[in-house]
């Protein structure tokens, strides 16, 4: 019964998964950028600091968190759809590791947002610039693993 539903819903599930991933990735690229400018250009306790905190909070809470959750939900639906995943293939495991890395990064960003909120950010704009490259690398791994399936 569930397997039949997942199979019939496959095109919709895959579409919603891709939409969720795109939304999540946009946030994963943008939030560290906000942190760069927040760390480099904004002092603590002023109106601009409050504005950045509001933008960072709303991006994480209302866009990134729902996008991450829906990415996982629709991704797991795809995993459990009969005939979609061949667990003997290496690409599946590479994608899984990269998705776990992306999820870790999401939570790392959440902790950094709290640092700004509590006035205890100690990281520089350079740190956030470097960390901003991580989702790009993970995205490349995921896209190549899923589309090219090199292993």
Q: For residue range 95-149, what is the model confidence (pLDDT) as tens digits?
A: 999 999 999 999 999 999 999 999 999 999 999 999 999 999 999 999 999 999 9
For residue 44, the model assigns a pLDDT of 87
Q: For residues 91 and 146, is the Cβ–Cβ distance under 8 A?
A: yes
- Reference 59, options 82, 34, 95; nearest CA is 34
- For residue range 53-74, what is the model confidence (pLDDT) as tens digits? 999 999 999 999 999 999 999 9
Q: For residues 105 and 28, is the Cβ–Cβ distance under 8 A?
A: yes
Residues 6+ apart with CB under 8 A from 103: 68, 72
For residue 107, the model assigns a pLDDT of 98
Residue 130 CA to residue 20 CA, distance in Å, equals 25
- For residue range 12-45, what is the model confidence (pLDDT) as tens digits? 999 999 999 999 999 999 999 999 999 999 988 9
Q: Give the residue extent of every domain in the chain.
A: 10-148
- Reference 16, options 57, 68, 70; nearest CA is 70
């Amino acid at each position: 019964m569930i397997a039949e539903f997942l199979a019939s819903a496959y095109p919709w599930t895959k579409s919603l998964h891709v939409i969720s991933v795109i939304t999540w990735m946009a946030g994963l690229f943008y939030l560290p950028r906000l942190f760069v400018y927040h760390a480099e250009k904004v002092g603590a306790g002023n109106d601009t600091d409050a504005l950045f905190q509001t933008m960072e909070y709303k991006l994480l809470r209302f866009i990134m968190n729902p996008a991450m959750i829906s990415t996982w939900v629709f991704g797991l639906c795809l995993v459990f759809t009969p005939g979609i995943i061949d667990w003997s293939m290496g690409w599946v495991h590479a994608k899984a590791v990269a998705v776990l890395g992306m999820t870790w990064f999401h939570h790392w960003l959440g902790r950094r947002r709290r640092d700004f909120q509590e006035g205890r950010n100690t990281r520089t704009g350079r740190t956030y610039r470097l960390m901003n490259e991580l989702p790009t690398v993970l995205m490349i791994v995921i896209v190549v693993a899923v589309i090219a399936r090199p292993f």
